[in-house]
Structures are given as structure tokens and as C-alpha cells.
Chains A and B, each alone.
Chain A
Amino acid sequence: MDLNYSADELAFRDEVRSFLDKNLSSALSEKVRLGKRLSKADLEEWHATLNRRGWLAVNWPVEHGGTGWNAVYRHIFEEELCLAHAPRTIPFGLSMLAPVLLKFGSKAQQDHFLPRILDGTDWWCQGYSEPQAGSDLASLKTRAVRDGDQYVVNGQKTWTTLGQHADWIFCLVRTDPAAKAQEGISFLLIDMKTPGVTVRPITLIDGGQEVNEVFFEDVRVPVGNLVGEENKGWTYAKYLLTHERTNIAGVGFSTAALAHLKDICGKQTSGGKSLLANPYFAGRVAQIEIDLMAMATTNLRMIAKAAAGQAPGAESSMLKIKGTEIRQAINDLTRRAVGRYAMPFVSEALDSGANAQGVGPEYAAAASPSYFNNRKLSIFGGSNEIQRNIISKAILGL
């Protein structure tokens, strides 16, 4: 038993820190720290910065332009980025589509799409959920009918994150309606500029528009855009969903958010004293820190297993549940911490580069919107209820 990083790992961590010091602008990290909405340009700029250093595709093999890092290195990297308040990288192309293409895609698809993900030519979004297919994803109805060397796609996807920026969407479509639910699904790549594709933004209760509905009306897609075999899409989708995700626990996000919360506590007063001097509030913060310390170690235990070549299974469901509960609890405390300034909502003041005048301290503006936005953490990526089902079935054998 050794709870410490090796010398090599520590040296790597220093290297990451020094890179961030030089390459992450304070303007960008301030936006992240204060919970502002990042523009497309902000996100593209950060992708380009990481790509120049060769650190964008952390989970790709070296021959395709990835880092080839093991799970420990990836964890160190992700944690340092979070602590420095770097923008998150957009996962749809990098860590969702790419692993599927690397494992099941044709050489032509790999050669065409992977470099374009790296250099930012293509922004990808995910076409999984549908209005009637949420937790029960396999009940999806979007239809693709073969017509010569094309598929004709009709249907609707929803909750498509940042679809308004996307050039391409990877979709689960039904190609055999007669087959059992999971067996008639295919994995299709669709150019968002194809006639018949319509994107409609959805405004969420935090006032932001990060998700969309995507409609397909007689959209013609070349058969060359089918990944792997027809009707085998569910296998690929499951591979994507259970593909090793070291960051699913969000330890870095929580650690950074907790530091931000303590910073706010130092500035907020209660009865003339710092909020951290208030035993009621301090107790709440301490409770979360205690939970987070333990979860960080649970996370490292899983990572060590993954680095040793053991594929994580249902354990990632555990990390997802505990990780999102802790992140949501920190959001909750941040909202409480700012007191009555949790109420004002000047939406424009949250936009990247906005000049609109906010209300109260700058750190207060995003407190309630973030609390409400992050209700999504326990809903998306397989709701926490679905994760509990997985645990009861796969670990407990119930």
C-alpha cells in the first residue's frame, strides 16, 4: 500500500502545472472560475492550445496523435486542469466518438475524422436521447432506411449538448424495426449541414441554452458514414458509455469548486464575521470536504486498477453517483454562501465577454444558475437511478 504518486508522476504533474502557468490565460480561467458561459471561440481557443502541446487527445494512442497516457497520468492531467480553472474539453469528438472509431471504424473513417477532431475542423455532438427514449435509450425511434448508397433518416434527437456549434453529429438510428430493441440499431455519422437537419435550442432553468433538439427530415446520409456493421450500433454505444472514463467522479471539479466556495466564505460575512467562522455553515463545508477526501481515494483505487489493465465495470457507476452528489452538494453550499445575492439574475452578465452590470459580488452571479444547471449531473450520462440499477445487477447480483 502506497498512497503517493511516484517520482515520475510528480515530475509530470509539475510539467502540467508549468504548462498551465504559461498557456492558460487568466481571462479564460477567471471566466471558468466565476461560472460564466463560455463562447464557442473560448472553447476552440483552449482546444487549440492543448493541441499545440500534443495534450488534447489524452485517451488516444500515440500513432493517432494522442498522448498514450495511462489512467494515472490522465487523472493527474485532468485534475490539474480543473484546479487551474481551465475550460473543460468538449468530449463528444475526443472521448466519445474517437474511441468508437478507433475500435470499430474503418481506416478511411479514422484517417478522415480523427485529424479533423484534433485540429478543430469538426465539432461533434451526440445524437442519442429522444423525447420518448431517455433512461430507456434502446427504445429510440429515429429511423434510417437504406436507399441505394444512402440512408434516409427521419426522427428527432434531444438534449443535444452544444449542438448549436456542431458540424457533425453521431447518431443512434433504428435500421431494423422488426428486430429486438437493442438489435436493430446502427451508429451513423451525419453532417449537420445536410438538408433536412434542423437545430432548435432549449432554454434551461438557468437561463442558458446549452442543449438542443435536433430534427431529421428525409436527411440523406452516405452509407460510408455507417460505423462498423449495420444493426450493431448498440454494442458500439455501450462501448462508448462504459468506455473507461477516469473523470467520471469529477474529483478535480469538486476540489476546484470547494476551493472557490471557501474563497467565497472568506469574503461573505455572517454576523460581522467570515462565514467560515459560523459553525453551522462551516460544519456543512467540512462535511463535504470529508466526503470528498474519501471519494478522491475511491477514485484513485479505481484508477490504479485501470492503470494495471483491469477494465472498470460497474464501479464507474459508483463513482458517477457519489461524484455527482458531491458536486451538487458543493453547488448547493455555494448558493447558500452568497445569501440574498443568490436571487438576482442578470443573464447577460454571465455571458462570455459581456459588459452587463451584475448585482452584488462578481462571484455571486453564477451561484444559483450553477446550482440549477448541475441538477443535470444526476440526470445525464445514465441517470443516477439507472446507475443504481447497474450496481444492484452487476455487483450485487440482485
Chain B
Amino acid sequence: MDFNHSDERRMLQETLHRYLSDNYGVEQRAASVAHSQGYSEKVWGDFAELGVIGALFEEADGGFGGSGFDIAVVFEELGRFACVEPLMASGVMAGRLLSALGSDEQKALIGDVIAGQLKVVPALEEPQSRYDLDAVETTAEQVDGGYRLNGTKSVVMGGPSADKLIVSARCADGLMLFVLDANANGVERYSYPNLDGYHASDVALVNVEVRSTAVLGASEAVLPALEAARAAGVTALCAEAVGAMEAAKDLTAEYLRVRTQFGRALGKFQALQHRMSTVLIEIEQARSALINVAGHLSAEPFLRDKHVSAAKNLIGRVAQLVCEESIQLHGGIGMTEEYALGHHAKRLMMIDHQLGDVDYHLERFVGVMQSEAAQERA
């Protein structure tokens, strides 16, 4: 048993930590948030050069990592600095789909993604789909030599800066995925910032014509691949949340040490000490849940998804506790936009709205529990 990261991963984490310390302060972050596409070209190029994008991919795809723990170390650091660059969308979710389902030509895109030259973004969810990946109403109609797509994809993370989209659609044979140019005829993006500083788009597909070569994977392979991609995405989100929790906890503990009211530091009031202790205990729980999901990312789907739902549920609950307690323990100053705490607090809450919230994953976990019980009875 060894809960330490390998030397390579530790080095990657330290490199990224140093880079973000030096290059992702409040002002640089604000510049990415204010950018019309929600990222900095400079930072993105540096991520590629430092190997941060490559670390998210397996060697077979031209990367040098790709395991759950590689994803975890990268995203924990991004979370610690409230980084808004669209790495999860492009590097994790789309990368997994291309790797699992892509033709040689489609897999060749991964090299450009790792090099920071190309952003491929999954556009899966729809206005009515809530957190279900298979509640797809976008249609793919077979036409001569290809397909015609119609439908709407909503709150596509990383949408504004996407060069290519991976779109899910329903056709006569079932669920399908397509890789298409984000600027193709009939693709209309309405882009906007999110409350946490990330950027997203609503994407309307109006009679978008694609060739058969745009199809990504066989229909029966789509849903399992989507679940595997979501597992990797949830791992990234959980790690990002743990990083944000650590940052919020550090800011709050420091504030309790220096802020004086009634003639003593706030941190000397026992009632507040106890609440801060609870925050610390729960963050350790969150870190363990992250280790569980990262460690089972390559496990068989049933066990993997059990950990996915356990982690996303637990971390969603702890994220809310950390967000609310760190604001409350700060008082008014914790609610101001110019102070970094608010950035972490907002991100912690918004993570719950990506890839399934606390309730969604509780329901899925109950499903796992019930089928385990049924197996035991059988």
C-alpha cells in the first residue's frame, strides 16, 4: 500500500504549481475570465509546452500519462488557482472519446490537442437532458454520403474556443457521435461566461451536413464510451474541487488568524475553531473519495461507476460545506468579487452542476447498491 504519487507525477504537480504561482495570479486570471473565449492563448501554449495536456493522455495516444492519478494531480493544481482554461472539456472528455472510438484520421487529432494547436470539445447535453447523457433529442438523418444534424446543445463547456465539436445525436440505429468543425455551416454558437468565470456556449445545429467520415465510433459503442469519458471528467472535476477546497480552507484559516474582533483573533473563538475543524475533516474525506475514483478509473465499468457516483456525491456535499462555511467565517469580505475566496466558492458550487449533481449521483449509487443486493440474493 502506498498513497504517495510517483516521482514523475510529483514533478508534474510541482512544475504546474510553480508555473501557476508565477503566471496565474488574480490579474492573469481576470484576463482569462474577461477574454471573449474564456482563456489565455499564452497560458494554453504554456500548458502544452509543460506537458500538462500530454499528461492527460496515454502513451498509445502520444501522451505520457492518462491514468486517474495523472488527471488528479493536474486538476487539483488548476483548482487551487481557480484556473478557468477549458482543459477538462478538451483534454479529458473529448480526448477519451477520440481515443476510444476514433478512426485513424480522428485519432490523429489527438496529437494537435496535446500540442495545444487544437481544441476539441464535447457537446452532449441538451436543454431538457439535465444530467443524462443519453437523453438526446438532436437528430441525425441519413443523407447521401453522410448525415444531416438538427438540434440544440446547451451549456457546452469550452464551447467558445472550440475548433471542433463532438456532438451526440439520435438516428434510426440509435445514439451516434459526430466530430464536426465548430464553424461548419449551420452550427450557431451563442457564447457567454459562467458565474465561476469559465465560458460556455449554447450550440444550435441547423441542417448541419456532415460526411460519413465524421461518425465517431459504432452506435453500440457510444454509450459505454460516454460513460468512460464521464468517469474521467468526474475525476478531473473532483480533483479540481479538492484543490479549490484546499485554497478556500487556507484563506479562511489565515483570515481567522489575523482578523481581530472583540479584542482577540477570530480563530481564538472555540465555536469557530470547531467549525473550521469540521471543514478540515470533510476535506480529508473528499481527498479520499478522489483517490478512490482516480484509482478505479481503469476498473471494470460497474465498479468504476460506483466510485464515480460516490466521489461526485460526497465531493458535491463537501464542496457546499466548504463554500458556505468559508464565506460565513469570513463575513462580508468573503462575498466580494475582488477577493480570491469568492472565485473558489463559486467554482465549488458550479462543479456540482457539471456531469451530475449530488442528487443525480446519489440516485445512481442507489442503483448500484440495489443491483449488488440483487446479485447477492441470486
**Do chains A and B interact in one complex?**
yes
Chain A residues with CB under 8 Å of chain B are: 129, 132, 134-136, 139, 158-159, 202-205, 207, 211, 268-272, 278, 280-281, 284, 332, 335-336, 339-346, 357, 359-360, 368-369, 371-372, 375-376, 378-380, 383-385, 388
Known: A203-B336, A343-B195, A368-B346. 17 other contacts (CB 8 A): A202-B336, A205-B336, A207-B337, A280-B363, A281-B359, A336-B352, A342-B350, A343-B198, A344-B155, A371-B349, A375-B334, A376-B335, A378-B328, A379-B332, A379-B335, A383-B331, A385-B271
Q: How far is the CB of B352 from chain A (nearest CB, A)?
A: 8
In the complex, B196 has a CB within 8 A of chain A? yes
CB distance from B337 to the nearest CB of A (A): 4
Q: Decide: B338 and A203 in contact? CB cutoff 8 A.
A: yes
Chain B hits for A378, CB < 8 A: 328
Interface segment, B1-9, B91-99, B186-194, B209-217? B186-194
Query: Can you offer 17 A-B residue contacts whose CB atoms are under 8 A?
Result: A135-B331, A205-B335, A207-B195, A269-B130, A271-B130, A278-B359, A332-B320, A340-B354, A341-B155, A342-B195, A342-B350, A343-B195, A344-B194, A344-B200, A345-B192, A360-B127, A379-B335
Distance of B355 from chain A, by nearest CB (Å): 9
Whether B353 contacts A340 by the Cβ 8 Å rule is: yes
B171 at the interface (CB under 8 A from A): no
For residue B372, CB closer than 8 A to chain A, the reply is no
Distance, CA A368 to CA B155, complexed state (A) = 15
Q: Are A343 and B155 in contact (CB under 8 A)?
A: yes
Complex contacts, B198 vs chain A, CB 8 Å: 343
Which of A268, A280, A388 sits near B359, CB closer than 8 Å? A280
Residues of A within 8 A of B260 (CB): 132
C-beta contact mask, B324-343 vs A, less than 8 Å → 1, else 0? Answer: 10011001101111100010
Ranked 8 nearest A-B pairs via Cβ: A205-B342, A136-B261, A345-B195, A203-B337, A343-B194, A280-B359, A340-B155, A339-B130
B272: CB under 8 A from chain A? yes
Asked whether B125 is an interface residue with its Cβ less than 8 Å from the other chain, the reply is: yes
Given A271-B132, A343-B200, A343-B350, A379-B155 contact (CB < 8 Å): no
Secondary structure at chain B's binding surface: helix, strand, loop or mixed? mixed
Closest partner residue, chain A, to B271 (CB atom): A385
Quick check: is B44 within 8 A (CB to CB) of the other chain? no
Among A159, A202, A360, A368, which residue has its beta carbon within 8 angstroms of that of B195?
Answer: A368
B: contact size bracket: 35 or more
Q: Enumerate chain B residues within 8 angstroms of A129, measured Cβ to Cβ.
A: 332
Is B335 a contact of A204 with CB atoms below 8 Å?
Answer: yes
Closest to B155 in A: A340
Chain A residues with Cβ below 8 Å from B338 are 203
Chain A residue at smallest Cβ distance from B345: A205
Is B362 in the interface zone, CB < 8 Å from A? yes
Contact A372 B335 (CB under 8 A): yes
B155 touches A359 (CB 8 A): yes
Contact A335 B349 (CB under 8 A): yes
Across the interface, which residues of B come within 8 angstroms of A269, CB to CB? 128, 130
CB distance from A24 to the nearest CB of B (A): 30
Residue B202, interface by CB 8 Å: yes
Once the chains are docked, how many angstroms separate the CA of A220 from the CA of B363? 64
Q: How far is the CB of B134 from chain A (nearest CB, A)?
A: 11
B248 to A: closest C-beta gap in Å? 13
Query: B70 within 8 Å of A by Cβ?
Result: no
Query: Is B271 a contact of A375 with CB atoms below 8 Å?
Result: no
Given A158-B332, A375-B327, residue A135 in contact with residue B125 (CB < 8 A):
no
State whether A369 touches B135 (Cβ < 8 A). Answer: no
Q: How far is the CA of A383 from the CA of B328 in the complex (A)?
A: 9
B262 at the interface (CB under 8 A from A): yes
- Is B154 in contact with chain A by the CB < 8 A criterion? yes
Write the nearest CB–CB distance from B39 to chain A, whole angstroms. Answer: 16
Residues of B within 8 A of A342 (CB): 195, 349-350, 353
Bound CA span A278–B359, Å: 10
A205 to chain B, nearest CB (A): 4
Report which residue of B125, B192, B338 has the largest number of chain A beta carbons within 10 angstroms of its beta carbon.
Answer: B192
- What's the least CB distance linking B60 to chain A, in Å? 32
Residues of B within 8 A of A284 (CB): 359
Residue of B nearest to A378 (CB): B328
Choose among A135, A339, A343 the residue that contacts B196 (Cβ–Cβ < 8 A). Answer: A343
Cα–Cα distance between A358 and B127 once the two chains are bound (Å): 14
**0/1 per residue, B115-149, Cβ < 8 Å to A?**
00000000001011011100100000000000000
CB distance from B202 to the nearest CB of A (A): 6
Contact yes or no, A339 B337, CB < 8 A: no
A280 to B357, CA, bound (A): 12
Nearest-Cβ distance from residue A303 to partner chain B, whole angstroms:
28
In the docked arrangement, what's the CA distance between A204 and B333, Å? 9
Q: Give complex CA distance A385, B357 in Å.
A: 30
Kindly list chain B residues whose C-beta atoms are within 8 Å of the C-beta of A369: 195
